[in-house]
Amino acid sequence: MSINGLKIGIGLTGSFCTFEKTFQLLKQLKEEGAIVTTVFSPLSQTIKCRFGNGEEFLERAYEITEKSPITTIAGAEPIGPKHMFDIFLILPCTGNTLAKLANGIVDTPVLMAAKSHLRNGSPLLLSVSTNDALSMNFKNIGLLMNMKHIFFVPFAQDNPEAKPNSLIADYDMLIPSIDAALENRQLQPVLSQTTERK
């Protein structure tokens, strides 16, 4: 399936070690003709860390997508009523965001974007990146896998010896996962072989 002309929302949450790859994927989607809009969590807008800072992240998103990022809950609320996206991705999706989404908590722009988008029965695609996926968040992944219109980019352990509970999505499977979600199906296998953090 071609993504040319597809309206894609991307919610960025705080797994900052994956942001470089996330921005590469944003660029790829844009180059393939997708209409991309970003939504930033509060921490992603304000963080200062070894991977960059919030101001730089916002500027880079604007440069790639040519659209101002959505940065407030009020700004994200119209996403559903206005049918702004064909699909919404949370990329990366942290354990904190997984837990809140699974339990109906809407206290960030990204979570409001997901809630508003889902009201139309449109697909939500999660790209997991969290160190507690196979511990505290394992039950939340299970809950979300059983919810209508929510799909996952296939994921794997990225460092099973040092971080046995950590999972990260296979970024090479992003576009096939988008295609599958738009057809209302989960790309399989959802559990990949162990993969290094990319």
Task: Please indicate, yes or no, if residue 197 is contained in any of the structural domains.
Answer: no
> End-to-end CA distance of the chain, in Å?
25
- The model carries a pTM of 0.94
Task: Please indicate, yes or no, if residue 101 is contained in any of the structural domains.
Answer: yes
Closest CA to 76 of 105, 37, 125: 37
What CATH code is carried by the domain that includes residue 164?
3.40.50.1950
Q: pLDDT tens digit string along 62-108? A: 999 999 999 999 999 999 999 999 999 999 999 999 999 999 999 99
**In the predicted structure, residue 22 carries a pLDDT above the cut 60:** yes
Q: How many domains does the chain have?
A: 1
